[in-house]
Amino acid sequence: MLKSRKLGQQGLEVSELGLGCMGMSHAYGNADDKESIATIHRAIDLGCTFFDTAEIYGPFKNEELLGEAIRPYRDKIKVATKFGFIVGGRAFEGADSRPSHIREVVEASLKRLQTDRIDLLYQHRVDPNVPIEDVAGTVKDLIREGKVLHFGLSEAGVDNIRRAHAIQPISALQSEYSIWERNLDVGIRPLLSELGIGLVPFSPLGRGFLTDASKRAEDYPQDDFRAKGDPRLKGSNFDANSAIADTVRDVAQKNGVTSAQVALAWLLQLGDDVVPIPGTKRQSRLEENFASASVALPLVDIELLNGVQKAVGERYTSRAMAMVDR
């Protein structure tokens, strides 16, 4: 059974690993609602109390799926969702964190999730057109009203984290972070420690690259965003980055575990304020991922992983990278 960890200093307690639900409805090929719901239920059986979704995953379908799956277990688990985009025919139509829009999104998310409160509400991406103080102030009001319990940011930079936290204390920052993605090491992680903010790493397995099934972009189906949306998996970038996957694989073989378990164990051993959210729609992968909680990597292996080369290539297309606040 998974143990508990605290995110932030506002009383948010969740399992040491969460379940990222995005891939059940978005970005990673065909949906399988029956298996996805079974996977959510299996996660709860294994002690997972932390489930991550967003209105744009689908769009909207992922919140609906999660809401249906967790309805009998709602008081036992914590739900995180997000606002901050204009949702049109495509998921990403631009940023929108106007206070009125935040309220509209929250009301719609509550209905789709079949609940009366959102345990952790993230701003999905910083909106350069709306002062972060207005965003934090709106969430502060929603917390006073009981519709939201805790505030989070996603992919936010140092200045915006500090300014938002001064208005409404932040419980968690959700950003991409893993063995091959260390963009938070300078500036962000020291700030989180200073302010007492938890870290929720998404894509902790490098979108599958840090597993025993890593493959090139062209080997993914066209309905999988990795086929076009992850420059690190393409051509010479993939060749250069394979050294990282090889190191993870060597550590896994030495310790008698899988590469995915090494990648997650490395994150878990960073501190009790770190809660990775590996995503999967398959029960077998879920069980493999959650078993990482019992993996204790030797210090020599942690140091080896700490020293892997910097990944070659951007982690998103230029359009998506433009929305990351650094």
Q: Tell whether omega for the bond before 59 is within 30 degrees of 0, i.e. cis.
A: yes
User: pLDDT tens string for the chain (326 positions)?
Assistant: 999 999 999 999 999 999 999 999 987 778 899 999 999 999 999 999 999 999 999 999 999 999 999 999 999 999 999 999 998 755 567 899 999 999 999 999 999 999 999 999 999 999 999 999 999 999 999 999 999 999 999 999 999 999 999 999 999 999 999 999 999 999 999 999 999 999 999 999 999 999 998 889 888 888 877 878 889 999 999 999 999 999 999 999 999 999 999 999 999 999 999 999 999 999 999 999 999 999 999 999 999 999 999 999 999 888 888 888 87
**Could you give the CA distance from residue 162 to residue 191 in angstroms, rounded to a whole number?**
8
The pTM for the full model equals: 0.97
- Burial class of residue 282 (count of CB atoms within 10 Å of its CB; 0-12, 13-18, 19+): middle
Catalytic-residue membership of 57: yes
Query: Which among 28, 57, 122, 220 is annotated as catalytic?
Result: 57
Which tokens go with 22?
Answer: 């995005």
Three-class SS string for 71-92?
Answer: HHHHHHCEEEEEECECCCCCCC
Full set of structural domains in the chain with CATH: 4-321 (3.20.20.100)
